[in-house]
Structure 1
Amino acid sequence: MLTIASGETVTVDTLSHEGLMEDQGRDPLTYFDSHGVAADDVLTDLAELAASDVVHTRGPDGPHVVTGPIHVEGARPGDVLKIEYLQLDPRVPYGVVSSRHGLGCLAGERPVDDETGEPVNLLSQFCTVDLAAHTATMRWDSGSGITFPLHPFMGLSGVTAATEEALNTIPPGRHGGNLDVRDLGSGSTMYLPVQVPGAGYYLGDPHFAQGNGEVSLTALEASLRTTVRLTVLTPDAAFASVGALDGPVGETPTHWVAIGLDRDLDEAMRKCVREAIRVLAEVAEVPPSVAYLYLSAAGNFVVSQVVDDVKGVHCLISKKDFPAWA
């Protein structure tokens, strides 16, 4: 376990699970070779993990490669861990988007073979990445392609939960985890309530790009070199930025990011509205009834993801609407 002082930065070479999964052969050298990637362009740490005796029980464990925990000195239950995403650099010039075993938004309907219409257990799309242009391209058999911009962020980022139970990496919760909030990229900040001494921060599931909803099951999955600053805040110190939080809250230079989580999407939406009202009331000192009406007029509510068992909705609240924060 790595131990750092509050306020120190950490750089982590995170790994994507694509090319490592059992249904892809658990052999990234062979898997990426089939897509024209030379062995020297496959990450050494990914190949070493695949060849290791690390046990992966996909059902109870979840698919993600997780790095951590990081012990932050002085962090105690009741404190808040401030996570600043300082830099997110692609480690490879390619990535993969997948739909697996009917687990996406259209479970039971897709994925299918486009020619036969028959269900398939795994549908993966290899994408090339132009690191200079900061774009990714999907191509299919006809040679046609779609090019879209990169927007790197960590899909999974959390603190150790106060439980003896080993948690699956898929569902997010009060501890953060697999939130898949695409707006929490470079230059953003996330705040999480500390649950165990030292916080036990961890991260994984690096993404090069993701559409809100993440409907097929995964984003453009690919490995990132991620630099974060981890700072322990007392509840009073955190209050000025995010109020008295009881779960994950995000912040960018231009927006507050309120987050609602629940297995029921409607309830996730309701929780997000309540959380956005709380942030406005405690941070911007807006009366709750006014905040409710303001959010109807100007709040930007987005479905973060619908594929992680616990669904997510987040609200972008523009700071420029509040003169003291503009």
Structure 2
Amino acid sequence: MRTAACLVVALAAVAAASGEDHVVRPTPATTHFGGWSADYAPVTEVASGDVVHLWTVSGEPGQVPLDTFDVPEELQTIWKAQCGSLDGSQPDRSPPAAFCGAPGPHILTGPVAVAGARPGDILKVEVLSAELWTDWGWNTIRAGKGALGNTAEFADVPAETVIIPLDLARMTATPPWSRGVEIALNATGTGPFFGQMGVAPAPSRGVLSSILPGAHGGNLDNKRLGPGATLYLPVNVDGALFSAGDGHAVQGDGEFCVTALETSMHGRFRLTVLTPGSAGSTAVFHDISGPRAETPTHYITMAFHEDLNEAQEAALLDMLAWMHRLTGVSRIDLYRTASLVGDMAVTQVVNGRKGVHLMMPKSIMDAMAAAANDSGGWKSAARAVLAAAEAIYLDVQHKVADFLLICKGKCAELLAKYEL
């Protein structure tokens, strides 16, 4: 899968030298099929703050007629490598294996290493664009799956994939069941977005299925993470190893029947490494254990669990922790505020771990922070001193970790040699 990695790295270096975006096109060597792992080698490396342009592909293997739809050659090549044929059917497997033998169904472009990123840092992902590049998408129902897969009415519904034409000029879709009614791709109040964005999980986690969202990000399926949004992901391995894919032309909260309107997309992402001592980043580091995000208007926390009650509780507690550090307002007062102006929604109920996200308006949070900072003057000064002290402490921790990494076994030898 990685035979072309050197070529990709060379092309990325040329792009960086010319001041252009780093571009990664999807090939068997620059994608990973169905999983997330720290063992996947990076296909290119970029500097912190660089923009990477990722082209992604999507299609249900064996379900898209090549003589009817314009299937990108890149997707056919990836299907050939993973499934055994250009159309994604599995002529050498009987019966066919789920996901062509991969741990999950999604094709992800990457991973991209970000120079200088280390465990304990945060990768700041600014979504600059998310654009369609094929004139079709697809939606599938899988037998026994989805929000109603266990109900009497839908348990025996046969698996079926439906190909849906897309009008790229009008930004509409016309599903064959809609009786000719066009569905605008911004019908849910947002627009196309990447269902999957994430970093490599901790090495101890092994290979994770792309179906499950988690602390590494992955199958977030959050329609609010389109262009203009910023995603924060805790770094688990050197380089962070960012990937994206699973383009969604349109999706409502819930994603009930298993998939959205899936399609191939390309997007631009600015990848920036935040260290614990980075200016202005103290709040987002506070108690972070999974994805956080912001849009121009809201702060967003996300949580995932098989039980929606567990997920909503985790999303709310994470927001209280983050906003307390950001604003200085007490957690109990933020709890009351969330009840007044916070918006919680069920992101999806079909990815094994159900997703919940909570949105808090920046206009109110920032105003409360300003008011708290101006209370008597001394609070603002004290908070600034404490934030600076915390940043220094975390920076020292990083430097000690660096020293120990470089030193390793040499320290004991030096202590013995000089009788220290």
Q: State the secondary structure of the residue aligned to 1:52.
A: helix
Alignment correspondent of 1:242: 284
Describe how 1:34-45 pairs up with structure 2 within 5 A: 37=69, 41-45=70-74
Partners of 1:303 and 1:95 in 2: how far apart?
Answer: 24
Question: What is residue 119 of structure 1 aligned with on the other side?
Answer: 156
**Aligned partners of 1:257 and 1:317 also within 8 Å:** yes
Distance 1:54 1:124 in 2: 17
Matching residue of 2:183? 147
In 1, the alpha carbon distance for the partners of 2:209 and 2:81 equals 21
Give me the TM-score of the superposition, normalised by structure 1: 0.87
Range with greater deviation from structure 2 (311-320 or 143-152):
143-152
Deviation at 1:12, TM superposition (A): 0.9
Change (3 A) 1:233 1:146: same
Query: What residue in structure 1 maps to residue 129 of structure 2?
Result: 87
Q: Out of 192-201 and 238-247, give the one that drifted further.
A: 238-247
Contact 1:243/1:282 (8 A) holds in 2: no
Deviations 1:111-131 (A, max 9, x none): 85xxxxx92331333322222
Please say if residues 156 and 179 of structure 1, whose CA atoms lie closer than 8 Å, have aligned partners that are also in contact.
yes
TM-score, normalised to structure 2's length? 0.68
Task: Give 1:115's aligned residue.
Answer: none
**Matching of residue 285 in structure 1 with residue 328 in structure 2:** yes
Paired residues of 1:4 and 1:71 also in contact (CA < 8 A)? yes
Of the three residues 50, 57, 68, the one matched with 1:8 is 50
* Alpha-carbon distance in structure 2 between the residues aligned to 1:54 and 1:99: 21
Q: Distance in 2 between matches of 1:89 and 1:77?
A: 31
Whether 1:193 aligns to 2:242 is no
Q: Which has the higher helix share?
A: 2
Q: SS of the counterpart of 1:321?
A: helix
**Structure 2 CA distance, aligned partners of 1:146 and 1:135?**
6
Q: How does 1:1-326 map to 2 (within 5 A)?
A: 1-16=43-58, 18-20=59-61, 22=62, 24=63, 29-30=66-67, 33=68, 37=69, 41-53=70-82, 58=99, 61-109=103-151, 119-140=156-177, 143-150=179-186, 151-164=191-204, 165-237=206-278, 239-240=281-282, 242-244=284-286, 245-324=288-367
Asked if the contact 2:346–2:355 (Cα under 8 Å) also holds between the matched residues in 1, the reply is yes
Q: Which runs of 4+ in 1 moved over 4 A?
A: 53-57, 323-326
What's the CA shift for 1:89? 1.1
Look up the equivalent residue of 2:365 and give its one-letter code. F
Q: Distance in 2 between matches of 1:299 and 1:136?
A: 32
- Alpha-carbon distance in 1 for matches of 2:366, 2:98: 51
* Conservation of the 8 A alpha-carbon contact between 1:99 and 1:123: yes
- Counterpart Cα distance in 1 of 2:261 and 2:82: 27
Specify the code of the residue in structure 1 equivalent to 2:246: D
Instruction: Quote how far apart the aligned CAs of 1:258 are.
Output: 0.9
SS class of match (1:191) = strand
Structure 1 residue runs of 5 or longer lacking an equivalent are: 113-117
Distance in 1, matches of 2:47 and 2:366, equals 35
Give the gaps of 5 or more residues in structure 2: 1-42, 85-96, 371-420
Percentage identity across aligned positions?
Answer: 38
Counterpart-to-counterpart distance in 1, 2:131 and 2:300: 23
CA contact (8 A) 1:127 1:137 kept: yes
Across the two proteins, how many residue pairs are aligned to each other?
307
Distance (Å, rounded) in 1 between the aligned partners of 2:283 and 2:267: 23
Pairwise CA RMSD of aligned residues?
A: 2.3
Pick which of 51-60 and 232-241 moved more: 51-60
* 2:252 alignment partner AA: G
SS in 2 for 1:48: helix
1:102 alignment partner AA: G
Greater displacement, 305-314 / 281-290: 281-290
Highest RCO, 1 vs 2 (Cα 8 Å, sep ≥ 6): 1
SS at match of 1:235: coil
Determine helix, strand or coil for the equivalent of 1:242: helix
SS of 2:333's partner is helix
Q: Counterparts of 1:28 and 1:190 in 2: how far apart (Å)?
A: 36
Task: After superposing the two structures, state which structure 1 stretch, 247-256 or 232-241, moved more.
Answer: 232-241
Once the two structures are superposed, residues 88-119 of structure 1 have per-residue CA deviations (whole angstroms, 9 ceiling, x without a partner) of: 1101122112111221000133885xxxxx92
Q: Is the 8 A contact 1:72 1:198 kept in 2?
A: yes
Aligned 8 A contact 1:29 1:47 in 2: no
What SS is found at the alignment partner of 2:78? Answer: helix
- Compared CA separation, residues 28 and 85, structure 1 to 2 (3 A): farther
Counterparts of 2:108 and 2:152, CA distance in 1: 28
Matches of 2:80 and 2:150, distance apart in 1: 34
Cα distance in 1 for residues equivalent to 2:259 and 2:172:
18
Q: Match for 1:83: what amino acid?
A: V
- SS of 1:196's partner is coil
